[in-house]
């Protein structure tokens, strides 16, 4: 069964859900299975979303118009969809930047996997910056370099990026904060895992591309 969720940010009537509702109905979501809220996506107390998540059952699919209707915080989105996946519930986005996400399909799962890796990468960046700031404070003026460390989140992003012919290795390394040597020690030019990469992911061999 398809279950829809829609949200507007203001409760004063200045925003309406007509566009979202029409899109959900066009996607074959029954009108009686649509939940809604009038609240900011950053708020935790959204009764419509709570009721929606509670109503979902194994085999159902949660459908939203755009990804930001479910929430604006990437980590919250990832955690919510992970919880749905653990309950064998699908998640589908109809339009916008997240329109490729459909966890009921292999390609949609890959796209969401990249979103999840980005959330993990963002979290690790915050930790690294905090540690770097503490080290700088302790050093009190002494020069110190940031270590070129490959993490699981960076590795997953590198695999997905290297699988694309359009990826510029120099730019990728700069964005991940690693050297080319570190990159190629973990993945080959096609994005396949090398021994160091397999070791970092605990022996896993994730698929980097479809087809």
- The rounded average pLDDT for each run of 10 residues, N- to C-terminus, in the chain (211 residues) is 90 74 96 91 81 95 90 75 88 83 78 64 63 65 59 90 87 87 93 91 56 39
Q: Where are the domains of the chain?
A: 2-104, 109-200
**Helix count and strand count (H, E) for the chain:** 9, 4
User: Is 157 in contact with 116 (CB distance < 8 Å)?
Assistant: no
> What's the pLDDT score for residue 100?
76
Q: Which of 9, 40, 100, 105 is catalytic?
A: 9
> What's the pLDDT score for residue 210?
39
pTM higher than 0.75: no
Q: Find out if CATH 3.40.50.1390 is the number for domain 2-104.
A: yes
Cα–Cα distance, 129 to 116 (Å, whole number): 20
User: Is 24 in contact with 65 (CB distance < 8 Å)?
Assistant: yes
3-class DSSP state of 3: strand
């709570």: which residue's tokens? 50
9 noted as active-site residue? yes
Distance of CA 73 to the CA centre of its chain: 10
CA-CA-CA-CA dihedral for 55, 59, 64, 67, to nearest 10: 110
> What's the pLDDT score for residue 124?
64
Distance between terminal CA atoms of the chain?
29
Backbone angles phi, psi at 91, to 5 degrees: -140, 130
Q: What Rg value do the Cα atoms of the chain yield, rounded?
A: 20
Residue whose C-alpha is closest to residue 52's, from 19, 98, 84, 94:
84
């Amino acid at each position: 069964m398809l279950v829809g969720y829609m949200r507007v940010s203001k409760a004063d009537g200045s925003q309406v859900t007509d566009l979202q509702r029409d899109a959900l109905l066009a996607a074959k979501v029954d009108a009686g299975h649509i939940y809604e809220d009038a609240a900011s996506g950053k708020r935790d107390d959204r009764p419509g979303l709570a009721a929606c998540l509670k109503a979902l059952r194994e085999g159902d699919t949660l459908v939203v118009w755009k990804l930001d209707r479910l929430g604006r915080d990437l980590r919250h989105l990832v955690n919510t969809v992970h919880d749905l996946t653990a309950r064998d519930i699908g998640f589908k986005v109809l339009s916008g930047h997240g329109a490729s996400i459909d966890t009921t399909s292999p390609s949609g799962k890959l796209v969401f996997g990249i979103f999840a890796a980005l959330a993990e990468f963002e979290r690790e960046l915050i930790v690294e910056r905090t540690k770097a700031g503490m080290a700088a404070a302790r050093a009190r003026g002494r020069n110190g370099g940031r270590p070129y460390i490959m993490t699981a989140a960076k590795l997953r992003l590198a695999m997905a990026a290297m699988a694309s012919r359009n990826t510029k290795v120099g730019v990728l390394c700069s964005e991940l904060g690693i050297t080319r040597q570190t990159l190629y020690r973990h993945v080959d030019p096609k994005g396949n895992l090398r021994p160091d990469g397999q070791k970092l992911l605990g022996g896993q061999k994730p698929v980097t591309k479809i087809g």
